[in-house]
Amino acid sequence: MKILVLGGTTEGRALAAACAAVPGLEVISSLAGRTSSPLLPAGAVRVGGFGGVDGLVGYLREHRIDAIVDATHPFAATMTAHAVAAAARAGVPLLVLRRPGWTEQPGDEWRRVPDLAAAAALVPGLGERVFLTTGRQSIAAFAEVDACWFLARSVEPPAGQLPQRLEVLLERGPFTVAGELALLAEHRIDVLVSKDSGGTTAKLDAARELGLPVVLVDRPPAPPATETAPTVAAAIAWLRESLHGSPAADGLGTNGDGCPRRAGRQQEQDWGVRGALGRNEACVSAAGGQQEQGLGCPRPRAR
Ligand code: NAP
């Protein structure tokens, strides 16, 4: 049985790690190729666009894919739309694995906006020193905001039109609350801008602690009439159902709580969790805050 995981996220890597060592299950992860040194998932990896919906349909047929899990980032709306269209045309079951967005807590000063242009229009009224955590492709949206100084954090250097007053921090997460607090203080940040990506909450926790306003860009709408799962564990349960009857489905066991079964030492190895990720990312809680630690399910025993 062959699974295509559309990746580029922590969840995509966790799912690939969980599937890669299950006997009879072949997992191919697909990355867009945006970063020069991506974190590689376990199992086979292909890199680069498919060439639109037609290209993806061709790929699914040529490689005889049995199921697709779209584990791309919640803001990768084009890839998700293509996956939905291609899966329907090729008759391949599709699951969209989409981590939950964040929920405002007491003490938060959030301003939700529909898109990056609205965020750029709002920030000058909220502060002068802005921490941009929306990714390098989003920095151009702030190019005309001359009233503010920006600190932008991204994995790769930004390109194209950029704000006049910009400092770039090349870093890859996960980040800690203590680290974020120190960064915000060091740069005297007075407003944070983020996409509602979900997952790790360190920057939001730090902003709350300092009483800073946060401009949160809403997600693009979810694809209509598509099966979705909020966690890696739920995606594994879906795969198990989809592959029902194949020997590989038995390898995709769960504890009954949606978490992968870990009957013993061999099972831990089969899931490839420890070796591939160094922590229990294969089973992630629906709670955004817990995703940072990947502690939604019991950690495998230390050996
Ligand atoms: P996008 O705008 O939704 O997709 C644009 C095109 O890039 C797609 O039509 C497809 O090209 C190609 N593509 C995207 N994801 C791909 C994948 N996993 N495998 C193969 N081709 C892919 O995508 P994006 O927002 O630029 O995101 C690109 C990648 O970065 C995704 O894998 C996503 O998970 C990751 N990422 C995105 C964000 C974000 O904020 N958008 C944040 C973190 C990680 P073809 O039409 O030629 O197939």
Looking at every residue in the chain, the average pLDDT score rounds to 85
pLDDT at 283: 30
Q: What domains lie within the chain, and their CATH numbers?
A: 2-100+222-291 (3.40.50.20), 109-217 (3.40.640.10)
Determine which of 90-94, 161-165, 179-183, 273-277 has the lowest per-residue pLDDT on average: 273-277
Q: What is the pTM of this model?
A: 0.85
pLDDT for residue 277 is more than 50: no
Place of tokens 């293509």: 82
pLDDT at 224: 85
pLDDT at 82: 98
pLDDT at 257: 39
At 134-162, the pLDDT tens digits run 999 999 999 999 999 999 999 999 989 99
pLDDT for residue 70 is more than 80: yes
Report which of residues 243 and 247 the model is more confident about.
Answer: 243
72 Cβ below 6 A of ligand 1: yes
Confidence of residue 295 (pLDDT cuts 50, 70, 90): very low
**Residue of 40, 73, 156 best suited for mutating to test ligand 1, as the one with most atoms within 8 Å of CB:** 73
- How close is the Cα of 301 to the center of ligand 1, in Å? 36
Confidence of residue 253 (pLDDT cuts 50, 70, 90): low
